[in-house]
Amino acid sequence: MDKQRLSGCIKSTATLIAGAIIYSIGTQCLISPANIAPGGAVGIALMFSYLTNLPVGGLTLMVNIPLLILAWFFLSHRFAIRTGITCIICSSFIDLIVAPYFPMYGGDRLISSLYGGIVIGVGMALIFLAGSTTGGSDIAGYLLRKKWPHISIGRFLMMIDGIILSSSVLVFHDIDAALLGLICLYAETKVIDMILYLSSASCKVLIVTQHPQQICTQIIRNIERSATIISGKGAYSGDDTNVVICTVRKSEFSDLKKINEAADENAFVMVTETNQVFGLGFRNFSEAIS
């Protein structure tokens, strides 16, 4: 069990570092030279960097610090710590490794925005697979939803990124900045979705196990979601068993896999991609017709 946990920890750390490096390359080498701000904390940092010539990584961390403090008090200590560590790693890679030693792309801005979005999307997907996020809009979206729970996180993210894209026109004095930023954001989102469950925002997981309560306890404690336990009987063996039903977001699935592997290596797991989920922690039922 200890070896399994150690192996999982090493794998997660390696995935996080790989994602942070790829994310940093896309941001510094492709997006920064094109003078576009594709949403999120890094978009704000890119605009301030353009105005002040300060390093992008340090500015990104400065933008995230107040959000992380709010996340500590109003969301989850675990989420704030994990996201904070990721922010520090990404910011350090941007300023200390990528900026001094990697070449900057100086070609067509359309190519820069498109491939920048693809590269950043790959990096963010790996970070999600490691069970973390890059902060920024994600934190702001969750915080705003605490205040206005009837509005979905997706809509909050659209509003936040829309404000950042609109502001980039004023900062860069170029309407193309917003249009190219939108292309970058679209490419980034599509790549993340393609890597994580082929465009599904969430997934439904059915776990046939002899240890349902242990799995559910860890789901509640570590992912901060709930689950449903259904009693069943094996058709072939005739033995009593249990089925745990849980729905999680794409960035939370790697944590659920670790929980299941640690609790019951012999569990039978079925994963179904879900395009829409309504209910507590996801979208409201009123949004089904919007």
Encode pLDDT of 39-63 as tens digits. 888 889 999 999 999 999 999 999 9
Q: What is the largest CA-CA distance in the chain?
A: 71
Same domain, 267 and 284: yes
Read off the CATH number of the domain in which 247 is found. 3.30.70.120
Q: Which of 244, 177, 233 is nearest to 205 (CA)?
A: 244
Same domain, 211 and 191: no
Same domain, 221 and 186: no
**Per-residue confidence (pLDDT) for residue 274, from 0 to 100:** 72
The residue out of 195, 223, 253 marking a domain boundary is 195
Same domain, 118 and 230: no
The residue out of 144, 165, 195 marking a domain boundary is 195
State phi, psi for 246 to the nearest 5 degrees: -145, 140
Encode pLDDT of 182-236 as tens digits. 999 889 888 887 776 554 457 788 999 989 999 999 898 888 888 999 998 888 8
Same domain, 176 and 104: yes
- Written as six digits, the tokens of 120 are 């950043």
How far apart (Å, rounded) are the C-alpha atoms in residues 78 and 216?
Answer: 18
The number of domains in the chain is: 2
Same domain, 161 and 263: no
Same domain, 208 and 191: no
Higher per-residue confidence, 284 vs 109: 109
Q: Is the pLDDT of residue 128 over 90?
A: no
Residues 6 or more apart whose CB falls under 8 angstroms from that of 56 comprise: 27, 28, 32, 42, 45, 46, 49, 94, 95, 99
List the end-to-end C-alpha distance of the chain, in Å, as a whole number.
47
Same domain, 187 and 235: no
Same domain, 207 and 95: no
Q: Is 66 exposed, middle or buried (0-12, 13-18, 19+ CB in 10 A)?
A: exposed
Lowest mean pLDDT among 1-15, 107-121, 226-240: 1-15
Give the single-character DSSP code of 93. Answer: I
Encode pLDDT of 82-99 as tens digits. 889 999 999 999 999 999
What is the extent of the structural domain holding 47?
A: 2-195
